[in-house]
Amino acid sequence: MPGHIEDRVKAAVLEVQEYVRLCVTTARAATSRPFYRYDFVEQLDSIGVGSLTVVVLTGLFTGAVLALQSGISLDQFGAREEVGRLVGASMVKELGPVLTALMVTGRVGSGIAAELGSMLVTEQVAALRALGTDPVRKLVVPRVLAGLLMVPALTAISNGVGMIGAWFIAVAQLRVASSVYWNSVWYGLYMEDVWMGLLKPFFLAFVIVTIACHVGLRTSGGTQGVGRATTRAVVAGSVAVLAVDFFVTKLMIFVLY
């Protein structure tokens, strides 16, 4: 039993070591030539445009239910008109970045792990090496750069749609005047909140894509291994999003406020 625990600890340390090595190699490859522009544009479409529908729906219903629940709570203090302030701050600082990242993890992270895992078990990655092509430069760098661009953009869209969903509920059900709602949103957001909402998605995007690439490139066991890798990528990515969100939030509160 102690030997089994020791083996698992060694395996976990090895995974962390390989993940860090992949991140360092990716950073080096991203700042040198050659750069595969076609793959980069293709990943922009896959990660950004492909995730737009699920991100819009998530933001819309999150904002709507947040306004619905907070309106009931604010009624107890006679502050129903402040629903915009609460929704705006919650969406921009926390819910928008985290929920968008979790949706991207479920859709994009699983897809990257499955795609790279399939390429690995069918020896396509070995064929790239045989042709003199760096798999990290060809497969990982375009995905990481596309994620760093598109996840913040998706987060901004989710925030905007969430506020629109909350506005609809505030006007239609809570009977708050439209001008009152938008004024509450405007005066409730501070520049520090906006910076937090803009910077946090970059950290989350990097974690999502690099974990998915790492898991995909460590796949073994044939087609069953691809399925296991996909599951691991989504689980590890989701947990990492929540953990990184906590530490980045703590750091930004210390720096910005």
The number of CA neighbours under 13 Å toward the Cβ of 171 is: 12
Question: Over the stretch 44-93, which tens digit does the pLDDT of each residue have?
Answer: 999 999 999 999 999 999 999 999 998 888 877 778 888 989 899 999 99
Query: Stretch 191-213: mean pLDDT, rounded?
Result: 93
**pLDDT at residue 131, as a whole number:** 87
Residue 196: other Cβ atoms inside 10 A: 21
Count the residues in the chain: 257
Q: What is the pTM of this model?
A: 0.91
The domain segmentation of the chain, as residue ranges, is 36-256
- Name the H helices within the chain: 2-30, 37-43, 52-75, 83-90, 96-104, 110-121, 124-130, 135, 141-172, 178-188, 191-217, 222-256
Instruction: Compute the distance between CA of residue 226 and CA of residue 121 in angstroms, rounded to an integer.
Output: 8
Token readout for 158 is: 């989710």
Question: Over the stretch 169-196, which tens digit does the pLDDT of each residue have?
Answer: 999 988 888 999 999 999 888 888 889 9
Question: Over the stretch 4-34, which tens digit does the pLDDT of each residue have?
Answer: 777 788 888 888 899 999 999 999 998 888 8
